[in-house]
Structures are given as structure tokens and as C-alpha cells.
Amino acid sequence: MEQFFGFLGAVLEAAARSRQLDPGLLAWVEAQQHPVWIVFSVAMLAAASTLLGNSVVLFVNRVRGLRFWFAIVLNGASLVLLYLLQALATWIAGSLVVGGRSLLHVTLAVMLSMGPLVYGVLEMIPFVGPWIARVLQVWSLLALWVLISVGYDVDPWAGLLVAALGWGATQVLAWAFAKPVTWLGDRFWQLLTGRPSMLTGHDILAGHPFMPVGPDATLAQRKGGSR
């Protein structure tokens, strides 16, 4: 039990250091026991909080039981896969710009940058939720900038270039695969709920949740857009 609480404390401290943009975070994590599990747990904690913040959409649409948990798992997997994809893109960019680092090392940095997303549960707050989501994404990107600069042992501007290239490559892939991913997202959502979905491929690849839109909501959005 003592080991469990010690591990949990390390996970919470790693997430807190990420939010504080601590340049010594990578070195601190690597000095701990089971550093990979600590980083993985930070990512899972951030994903769980983000999904909890987004789960209000499921409750509003009366998604219950196994469908609810399947939607949660599907969104969680998409968020983790997004950051794994970003880690791969960042590793390639870093190899081209400043030299080699192991893919595992870069993946640890990218996953640790998810620390700010621990506050993702706040996205369920009405009206300001989308703004909070944007702030958390920028905060996460700033954490990645710091971690990449330290991980590659380069000056901040070179670190910014690597982080920006990795993030930008992920956005390009999101744009390139937007149509097929949108189609898959719609099919999954209709299978789960029987309702149509207003979700773009970019939304899915950017880590955003399914956003179902019923007939009434669609009409309301049209009226709002015509103002």
C-alpha cells in the first residue's frame, strides 16, 4: 500500500511539474522508479479528466450503459493515439533539425506535456468550456516546448521549432485524413446512439470528443449562424 501511494504521489507531482512548465521534469521522472509507468499514468489521468469534461455530451443525449462506456473508451483511445502520433512526428522533426534522440525519450516528453489536461474536467462548464479547452491545449503546447528544449538539450528557439514542426505535422495529417475520419466518426456515433453527428475529421484527430447534434440542435445552430 505504501508503494502504491508513493507511485500515486509521483504521478501527481509529475503532472503538477508539467503544468508549472518545469524544465527539470524529464530528469526528475527518469530518476524515479518505473518512469514509463509514471508518464503513462499522467497521460491516462489527463485523458480521463478530459473525457469526464466531455461526457456531459453523452448524458445530454441519454447515452447509457455499455454504449456510454464504449464511447468513453473510444474517445480515450483517440486522444492517446493523437499524442502518440504527435510523438512520432516530433521525433522525426527533431531527428532532422537537431539530431537524434530515442523515440521513447521523445514519447515521454510528449506524454508529460499532457499534464495541463488534468484540468480537462473543467470543459464541462457551460459557455466557457470551449475556451477552457483552447487554453489547456495552448498550455500543453507550452509544456511540450519546454520538455523538447530540455530533452534535446538545445536552445529554446530550436526547441520551439521542433515542437512546432511536430504539432504542425499532426495538424496537416488531420487535414489530409479529415474526410475518411469524419465518415468513420459519424458511423461510430450513429452505431452508438442512433443519432447523427456534427463532427469533423479534424475534431477527432485534434482529440475533441464526439459532438452529437439532433434535429433541434441542428435547427438552433442554423438560426444562430444566420444572425
Q: Report the greatest alpha carbon distance in the chain.
A: 59
Q: Mean pLDDT lowest for which of 109-123, 131-145, 179-193?
A: 179-193
- pLDDT above 60 (res 220): no
pLDDT digit string, tens, across residues 2-49? 777 888 899 999 999 999 999 999 999 988 888 999 998 898 888 888
State the pLDDT at residue 12. 92
pLDDT of residue 17: 94
Q: Between 45 and 191, whose confidence is greater?
A: 45
pTM: 0.73
